[in-house]
Structure 1
């Protein structure tokens, strides 16, 4: 109990015994404490060094206990002073860390944005942001599926954030519903209070933290090149609006993607729009995150339903029937 004041358990036991029986010598203290003679003598030396025992004026060669109100209070005051000194060093170190971080950010910052060069820099910054997120983390994920290594790295931080009450909402592509790893991550996220929806195509890779910081790719075609950390309130507000628009169009994971009144799923409508806009099957497959074979099978089915002999005619008929 008194270890905070520098007393070992043996010294505390001997001190308590001497307070109860100030006239007891070493032999009696052995019986009082159940310690060995060596342990008692070591404890007496320790107590004398801490000024909890002083030479007795009544019994020559013996030590008397100093009252707790004097001896222990002095040790407590010393411990408090040491703790205050340690806290001051901690605060000084905290200030130095903040200064180093500010200098590091300043070296990369320009016009309300910070350039994060390379994948490692992006991951380090995302870890920092995730630890200080206060209430919300939003993300658009147009890229590949959630691989186990990436999921394992993100799970502890996401779990900590969710435990703090942070709202996590993520949007992925509909094609992710066919990926076991992504479905496993989605189930874990939902079970822990997060939310995930899917849409046929996601406009851009993006993460928004507390509606004040946004992370965007430097080059959407090359995610490993790095990212741009944006702080501009106007830009972040526009990106939040984009997220909310995409979120509203999405279907919650765990539910069937709804078909419209014409029997078209969101992915089928999106595919028709792409083909009508001039995209090739290859381009549509890439944007939808599905195979070329799947695109062609879907398109053949749509052409049959639209009674179209060509992709061009399918686009015309879809427009006439109000499918687009």
Structure 2
């Protein structure tokens, strides 16, 4: 059997150099003449050992190796950025668009593609979320939570029509994941997931249990999808964080803001009552109160005016 890989080789060390460094770590300073001169020169240049009074000694591993790992990580990041930039240039060349789109077939394959996008995201994930749904959760395996732990932002616009069709519990999926910023829109043009400015996934599912999608990589098409998302985001109604009952100067509570968001999404009175945990009578009274505070006569005007005044 062959020798196992030398972990320190990732720092550019040969097996002999790695062995010499390990020996110094374990046993302490050695007379310089007892160590191969070429090995000493390379380990000094790598910042792993020091010469002192005719002796050579290991730099503490916590300092030396963490510094080396940080340098390698920066190299990897630069290489990744360069690769993505070159890939985008490649796809923008004449005929390159043919390679910018890939068809993904089957619910499992679509969810796997979405999960991989979340796992590789560096900065932001953006989504237009609409039915039909073929998975109980937005993404399986806690992929969204892991991405957010890495500092990835999530911005999602949910379609009110799909939430209404999902039944009384449809609203439960909106903005429930910690760190997600959610908005709602009555109608969305498509199901879409965007990973940074690198990849997009357009959902083409035709019904529950069936799924197909287009995976779009850096291209003019991806640029258009990003612009589409930002326009939908600006037009959508924000969903407030749940649980707060603090009132502002106009007497508007966070529950009122959520109520307005649900009305704007087109949810029924029964769905709104269930999600807010209030009776239909209390709901109707609160809607009338909000209409009076905002000086409007209809529910539609209520959503528009609340948005204009920055109350949602």
TM-score by length of 1: 0.42
- Structure whose CA Rg is larger: 1
More helix by share: 1
